[in-house]
Structure 1
Amino acid sequence: MTDAAHDPAAASPDPVAAWRRAAPDAVLLDGFHALKHAVRFGAEVLTALTADRAGALTLADELAEDVRDAMAALLTEVPYGTYASLVPRPHPTALAALAVRPGRADNLARLAHAPRTAPVVVLDQPRNLGNAGAVVRLAAGFGATGVVTTGTLDPWHPTVVRGGAGLHFATAVERLTVDELPPGPVFALDPEGEDIRSLKLPDDALLAFGSERSGLSPELRARADHLVALPMRPQVSSYNLATSVAMTLYHWSAAGGAPS
């Protein structure tokens, strides 16, 4: 059967109207890779529009053969101007989709499940949306149980999802207060802590990282069971947040944690 036979345009005479109905409550998947990952990890995709359907499917043939047919069934082609009018910032792949956000109750159950076989990353009052998205991508790649943010930043903000390349659907992502954090020993990153190279991070750990500007909040510091420091040359003040998360997750995984 041809791709055209699967084209949702045949069943949806007004894909733009369908997009506008769904957009207020849906997660924006910005670009080919965001849609690829969302489909791969079981997202419920409501609609997907592109200004270059053939180009998107060529990318799928090259980079995502496992979900190529599913993407072909979802994608509807519209003029570039129409596509661009529906998104905050056009993506180079000229593709966007809308998906259902995973249920909070399901995410909280995943975060609290015991025994946990991989850590939860906690971003304590983060400020930078792009950094938060990069952390979600890292957590998904390392097989972390999830990413939790405290404070005002919405971890499902479109800019965070864009930075995460759709990998919010590969891990549990939620915003909680410090009092609502899932159970487990808290290993909080702090320059005054114990050198991480002397420690083995347990699989059920909460790995907590302070904000880019002010470090750990007093509430999170009081909740910490261990303060942990990354090796750093004297007179260098700090690492980027995503870099710190990557180094810490690598240290955990080097002791035998996921991925297999």
Structure 2
Amino acid sequence: MSGTGEGGGPPVDAVRLWRGLAGSAVLLDGFHALKHALRFGASVPVALTSDKAGALALAADLAPDVADTLDALLVETDDATLRALVPRLHPTAVAALADRPSRAANLEALARRPRTAPVVVLDDPRNLGNAGAVIRLAAGFGATGVVTTGTLDPWHPTVVRGGAGLHFATAVERLDDGALPEGPLFALDAEGDDIRGVTLPDDAVLAFGSERSGLSADVRARADHLVSLPMRPQVSSYNLATSVGMTLFHWSAQHAPAAAES
């Protein structure tokens, strides 16, 4: 759970704590990232702002559920000190450090069967911002988790920034190709069956290729099903996050609430 820790002490103590944690903690960049992390149980030892009144006003307007926690947690410091700690300071002038979730706990969540929502696999992604956007989408749809293969670190600060703190709302881990979660593997491929005629089960593993080279030969060969997204002729591809969003929406539409009786 979230905690005020030592972050509620005098500014000098909070800055010292920040410097001690900065090498290993997850940077939450901005009010919205901190808000989401707190909502989903992140442990936040320290949070700083150069405008506490402004941050609390945002909380009162947009996130009253975490307003009291933010009031106790946020430590105000001067703008120059904050910018020295966070060179690309978010316009909301809020930054925090959170403890990274346990890898063991994430792996347990990804392996648990039966699943009630798919796992998204990004096969050797290259763009940090796209990976963050995918994690944000996956959290919004309630996916079990997001797995990356290859060299990209899904907890890189730029990815966390793109995910708006929603890494804490789903299981996010990097795995080898051979260690993907169990379940029927649906790989997105231009030569696959039109997804509109395919039912995606709740325990599906949904694999998406990299922005440059598509699916790796290994993942493509291991796929139980190849599916494609509808696309106008002569349009070469969709953005990775768009493809994930379309696929998760197709899955979620299978669980659409019944129309209200008139």
- TM-score tier by shorter-chain length is over 0.9
Do 2:7 and 2:45's aligned partners in 1 also have CA atoms closer than 8 Å?
A: no
Structure 2: runs of 5 or more not aligned: 258-262
Alignment of 1:210-221 (within 5 A): 210-221=209-220
Distance 1:162 1:110 in 2: 23
* Structure 2 equivalent of residue 114 of structure 1: 113
Distance 2:27 2:222 in 1: 34
Does residue 1:190 correspond to 2:203, yes or no? no
Shift of 1:76: 0.2
Do 2:7 and 2:74's aligned partners in 1 also have CA atoms closer than 8 Å?
A: yes
Distance 1:257 1:212 in 2: 30
* Structure 2 equivalent of residue 64 of structure 1: 63
Shift of 1:14: 2.3
C-alpha root-mean-square deviation of aligned residues, in Å?
A: 1.5
Do 2:187 and 2:223's aligned partners in 1 also have CA atoms closer than 8 Å?
A: yes
* Structure 1 equivalent of residue 202 of structure 2: 203
Distance 1:33 1:68 in 2: 12
Do 2:123 and 2:150's aligned partners in 1 also have CA atoms closer than 8 Å?
A: yes
Do 1:203 and 1:257's aligned partners in 2 also have CA atoms closer than 8 Å?
A: no
User: Partner amino acid for 2:113?
Assistant: A
Superposition TM-score, scaled by structure 2 size: 0.94
Shift of 1:16: 1.2
User: Partner amino acid for 1:31?
Assistant: G
Distance 1:205 1:180 in 2: 15
Do 2:6 and 2:14's aligned partners in 1 also have CA atoms closer than 8 Å?
A: no
What's the secondary structure of 1:24's corresponding residue?
Answer: coil
Shift of 1:88: 3.7
Shift of 1:223: 1.6
* Structure 1 equivalent of residue 236 of structure 2: 237
Does residue 1:255 correspond to 2:254, yes or no? yes
Deviations 1:44-74 (A, max 9, x none): 0010000100000000000000011111111
Do 2:10 and 2:75's aligned partners in 1 also have CA atoms closer than 8 Å?
A: no
* Structure 1 equivalent of residue 137 of structure 2: 138
Identity %, equivalent residues: 72
Do 2:50 and 2:93's aligned partners in 1 also have CA atoms closer than 8 Å?
A: yes
Do 1:7 and 1:75's aligned partners in 2 also have CA atoms closer than 8 Å?
A: no
Alignment of 1:127-166 (within 5 A): 127-166=126-165
Superposition TM-score, scaled by structure 1 size: 0.95
Structure 1: runs of 5 or more not aligned: 1-5
Deviations 1:50-103 (A, max 9, x none): 010000000000000001111111100010111111114111001100000000
User: Partner amino acid for 1:175?
Assistant: R
For these two proteins, the number of residue pairs brought into alignment is: 253
Do 2:7 and 2:17's aligned partners in 1 also have CA atoms closer than 8 Å?
A: no
